[in-house]
Structure 1
Amino acid sequence: MAVIDSRGRLHGKIGNVVYRTVGDMKIVQARPARVRQTLSTKESALEFGLISNCGRILRNLYSSFSSYSDGRLLNRMNVSLLKSLKDTEKKRGERDLHDGNPKHLQGLQFNINSPLTEVLAVRPQCSLTDGGMRVQVPSFNVSEDLQLPKHTKNAVLRLMVAAISFREGYYEYLDYMDIPLQYGKVIPEQEWLSEIVLPKGCIVLVSASIHCFGIKGIDGEPLSLNGKEFCPAEIIGAYNIKEDEAGATGEMEDDITDEPLQKKTFYTRHRLINYRGEEILKEIARKRKRDKKYQAQLARKKTEKTGGEFSTDGMTIPIAEKVFYKRE
């Protein structure tokens, strides 16, 4: 039903015709015909929903700097997660991110306006060791090899290790280390060996980010200068820890460099909220079962018209041909 407002404009639909108004423009359009989607299309849409769901959780995990993203982080993260999911021998509907290869997340920039690759001239390198995680940062000059915003009083390069398990429903921040940065100083080569317990069956992510601070506020705390125009952060390492690859416990070793470093280890698990991965995989299985019944019905109707036989669940059932009688 369509209605006419006080200005004489039509709103609503009559049959297949829809009347609507966008600004000062009056639009009349026909409703599209109903299209039956194939099973493959439905499965792809559901799997992309799984990716989007996992991406939202990862952005919450890195909320300290993903909140200052350039607005296109959602697309970049979904592309990387989709590549990770497909990099496995398992078929669609039987896989999640733990089956894929998280290496495709490595190099993900959280803010394209200030990528870490352009802000910092050197590249942090991380590697998985038998006892935990190792991150190496080459020597660099803060004044020459680092781009900082104006009014920066002090800054830190933060290295952080986090783990997430979609199957068990939690994520946690395992360890981090801050490297103080000051103008005019040369930061010697850093090697951070974090001897942490890598949870079994988790995806471990290592990030590097730069946090800048200006003058102190009324509470005495320095004000953050990070924002949508400047917030360099990158995932520099991504690993899938299998059940038999978990690291051993150990004490953190002191760095061999002379540069003072702030370090802290903390284990606090956060429960995943609204993770729908298992639900989506079950929905794909239901749609496959429903489509199988639908295809069997089509095959039966076709054979009933033409005569012959059709198969269902491995059994072949003959169909008697129709006999037409001619009137005398």
Structure 2
Amino acid sequence: MARIIGKYLKGVLGDSVLKTYGNMQIIQARPVKGKSRRAEGSDKSSSLFGIASNIACEFRTGVSKLVTAFYDGTMIFRLNTEVAHALRYANNPETGSFNLVADSFSRLEGFDFNAKSPLVNTLVSLPQVEIGEHSLTVSLPALEIPKNLKFPKDTKFCRMLIGRSLTDLTNQKRKIDFVSFEIENKKGTTIPQSWEFETQAGCVCILVVSLQFIQSSLAGEAVVNSKTFNPAAILKAVVLKGQVDKTQTKGWSGTMTKKILLG
């Protein structure tokens, strides 16, 4: 309904909206109610980020024993964002499915769980990773102490943890294995080492390396890691070739991931 105010009309008249601007009469088309394309795009983006957050949560849970609670305050959002970017490239908007290939999550490689203490600043010589048909081999070269592994002041030794999680996104299953060993804070060179982990076709494999530094006191030994110092990072993130065999993963731990359409 339009009203006459002074010498101008204001309000709605038919399909028009009447306004004033200074000493001018303005007539605009009446907006049409309904969902805009922008709103639809926003809904799809929101849905994708929700899926990514759910999967990122699974990845975090799978390696939580290695990372501990000393991640920085932005870690969850940073990881969610990286997984969302990865899924966006793999997403088929017409079918809603995700076509995951070997390097779909490769952007996670080098991801630090604590941005205040990047792993490479402490462990200068990183392990090498080789993926075979049914296994993954991690090789740690000889480390020259303290050149290749830098110890915080007054720490006695470093406990290095290397582990991998396997996530079966199709059947919501997870398996994790890790090794732990200690390196003394003593000038010299360590012996090269290697470890082999089994893999499972079609699963997402996340390999993490973390360092825990131990300090001795009269009260015993204590971990010096904190919210400002916790070197831990993703070394490898790969989707293993092949199709998941449900009979091989049914005995694994269950996940909280929602079922997504792959292929």
- TM > 0.5: yes
Structure 2 vs 1, CA of residues 243 and 210 (structure 1 numbering), >3 Å: closer, same or farther? same
Which residue does 2:236 correspond to in 1? 237
After TM superposition, the runs of 4+ consecutive aligned structure 1 residues lying more than 6 A away are none
Residue of 229, 254, 260 corresponding to 1:271: 254
Contact 1:53-1:276 within 8 A present in 2 as well: yes
Q: 1:160-179, CA deviations, whole angstroms, 9 ceiling, x for partnerless residues?
A: 12111222112111x32234
Which residue does 2:51 correspond to in 1? 50
Structure showing greater Rg: 1
Deviation of the 1:92 alpha carbon: 6.2
Which residue does 2:60 correspond to in 1? 59
Contact 2:63-2:164 within 8 A present in 1 as well: no
Deviation of the 1:125 alpha carbon: 1.8
- Residues in 1 aligned to 2:111 and 2:40: alpha-carbon distance in whole angstroms: 32
Deviation of the 1:232 alpha carbon: 0.6
Which residue does 1:227 correspond to in 2? 226
Q: How does 1:5-16 map to 2 (within 5 A)?
A: none
Which residue does 1:290 correspond to in 2? none
Q: 1:8-29, CA deviations, whole angstroms, 9 ceiling, x for partnerless residues?
A: xxxxxxxxxxxxxxxxxxxxxx
- Residues in 2 aligned to 1:42 and 1:189: alpha-carbon distance in whole angstroms: 51
- Residues in 2 aligned to 1:103 and 1:51: alpha-carbon distance in whole angstroms: 15
Structure 2 vs 1, CA of residues 71 and 89 (structure 1 numbering), >3 Å: closer, same or farther? closer
Q: 1:292-323, CA deviations, whole angstroms, 9 ceiling, x for partnerless residues?
A: xxxxxxxxxxxxxxxxxxxxxxxxxxxxxxxx
In structure 1, the gaps of 5 or more residues are 1-33, 247-266, 282-328
Q: How does 1:299-318 map to 2 (within 5 A)?
A: none
- Residues in 1 aligned to 2:70 and 2:94: alpha-carbon distance in whole angstroms: 34
In structure 2, the gaps of 5 or more residues are 1-32
TM-score (norm 2): 0.72
- Residues in 2 aligned to 1:57 and 1:214: alpha-carbon distance in whole angstroms: 32
Q: Does 1:72 align with 2:74?
A: yes
Contact 2:159-2:181 within 8 A present in 1 as well: yes
Which residue does 1:315 correspond to in 2? none
Deviation of the 1:200 alpha carbon: 3.0
Deviation of the 1:85 alpha carbon: 1.0
Q: How does 1:1-328 map to 2 (within 5 A)?
A: 36-37=35-36, 38-64=39-65, 65=67, 67-88=69-90, 90-91=92-93, 94-96=96-98, 98=100, 101-173=104-176, 175-183=177-185, 184-192=187-195, 194-196=196-198, 198-215=199-216, 222-243=221-242, 269-273=252-256, 275-278=257-260
Contact 1:108-1:235 within 8 A present in 2 as well: yes
Deviation of the 1:277 alpha carbon: 4.6
TM-score (norm 1): 0.59
Counting strand residues as a fraction of each chain, which structure ranks higher? 2
Which residue does 2:26 correspond to in 1? none
